[in-house]
């Protein structure tokens, strides 16, 4: 797996496991993914995109562990922006600074150089968020639901690159749709990494549409609405997510971590 890389020149260049972006997506409309949050870090008064995240409660945001780890390790505040599809178009409807002490990374989070284990984190924001049609929490899956969501259509959203990846990096929220793979299918496609385990869920990137870490994966349910099923962890890639895409996008399976989420938040979802 590509590591966290930090290069500081006259401006900051931040790369977390390469780049937290969608590749080959379409522009999202304001309110299309109201659970979507943008995490950014400040450098000399300017904020730089770090990762995607999701609203799960009026005081809680969920994201990948490696995204939160950057802020904690470097003691750098993370800016949480909600209700926005264009990260260059302010002022935003809601923006708060979340200091490192309000970040909870899974206690068993680790990176062995190939895969990130327990790659999940919670951010408790300082103020209660008042919801509207553009800012809403996403429903979480039941830990007891036998549905593994395989063969369902997954929606992956984040800020990213268009199909002409080397020339354009849109600041408009992007999204793609892909079928959720079974873990057996994921292991077959995931040739360069260990076998897919119960804590993971995957979609294919073989058609050239994918994400690097930090983006939420949801499925749509006609009865209960949108459900957050995955948090992007890693992807089997060619050249830093910008050329050949060799395998699946691997997410942390949210249902696997429901006991941990409820324990840390003190909320029964």
b/e sequence 148-157, b meaning 16+ C-beta within 10 Å? bbeeeebbbb
How does pLDDT run across 136-186, given as a tens digit for each residue?
Answer: 999 999 988 888 999 999 999 987 544 444 445 567 888 989 999 999 999
Q: Which residue has the higher pLDDT, 117 or 3?
A: 117
Q: How confident is the model at residue 116 (pLDDT cuts 50, 70, 90)?
A: confident
Specify the pLDDT at position 7.
26
Q: What is the distance of C-alpha 264 from the center of its chain?
A: 19
Structure-block tokens of residue 109: 């989070």
Specify the pLDDT at position 211.
61
Structure-block tokens of residue 129: 């968020």
Q: Does domain 153-255 have CATH number 1.10.1660.10?
A: no
Specify the pLDDT at position 41.
82
Average pLDDT over residues 95-112: 77
Q: What separation in angstroms does the CA of 165 have from each of 23, 24, 28, 103?
A: 7, 8, 18, 32
Q: Which residue has the higher pLDDT, 205 or 29?
A: 29
The domain locations on the chain are 33-137+259-265, 153-255
Q: Would you say 69 and 60 are in contact if contact means Cβ atoms under 8 Å apart? A: no
Domains 33-137+259-265 and 153-255 share a fold: yes
Q: Is the pLDDT of residue 14 over 80?
A: no
How does pLDDT run across 61-102, given as a tens digit for each residue?
Answer: 999 998 898 778 877 888 888 888 887 765 455 555 565 568
Specify the pLDDT at position 207.
60
Q: Is the pLDDT of residue 21 over 70?
A: no
What integer best gives the mean pLDDT of the chain? 78
How does pLDDT run across 203-250, given as a tens digit for each residue?
Answer: 987 565 556 556 899 999 888 899 999 998 876 544 334 444 557 888
Average pLDDT over residues 183-193: 85
Q: Would you say 208 and 23 are in contact if contact means Cβ atoms under 8 Å apart? A: yes
CATH number of 33-137+259-265: 2.40.10.10
How does pLDDT run across 31-52, given as a tens digit for each residue?
Answer: 999 999 988 887 777 777 888 9
Specify the pLDDT at position 164.
43
Specify the pLDDT at position 34.
93
Specify the pLDDT at position 150.
94
């Amino acid at each position: 797996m590509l590591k966290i890389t930090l290069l500081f020149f006259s401006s900051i260049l931040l790369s977390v496991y390469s780049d937290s972006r969608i590749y080959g997506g379409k522009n999202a409309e304001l309110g299309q993914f109201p659970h979507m949050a943008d995490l950014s870090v400040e450098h000399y008064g300017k904020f730089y995109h770090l990762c995607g995240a999701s609203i799960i409660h009026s005081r809680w945001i969920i994201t990948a562990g490696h995204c939160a780890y950057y802020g904690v390790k470097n003691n750098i505040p993370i800016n949480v922006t909600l209700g926005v599809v264009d990260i260059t178009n302010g002022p935003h409807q809601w923006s708060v600074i979340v200091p490192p002490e309000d970040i909870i990374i899974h206690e068993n989070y680790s990176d062995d150089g190939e895969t990130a284990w327990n790659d999940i984190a919670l951010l408790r924001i300082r103020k209660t968020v008042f919801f509207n049609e553009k800012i809403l929490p996403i429903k979480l899956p039941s830990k007891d639901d036998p549905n593994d969501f395989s063969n369902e259509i997954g929606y992956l959203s984040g800020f990213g690159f268009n199909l002409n990846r080397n020339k354009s990096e849109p600041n408009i929220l992007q999204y793609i749709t892909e079928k959720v793979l079974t873990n057996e299918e994921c292991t077959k496609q995931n040739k360069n990494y260990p076998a897919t385990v119960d804590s993971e869920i995957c979609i294919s990137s073989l058609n050239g549409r994918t994400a690097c870490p930090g983006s939420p994966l949801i499925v749509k349910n006609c009865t209960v609405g949108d459900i957050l099923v995955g948090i992007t962890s890693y992807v089997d890639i060619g050249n830093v997510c910008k050329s050949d895409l060799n395998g699946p996008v691997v997410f942390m399976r949210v249902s696997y971590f429901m006991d941990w989420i409820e324990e840390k938040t003190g909320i029964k979802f």
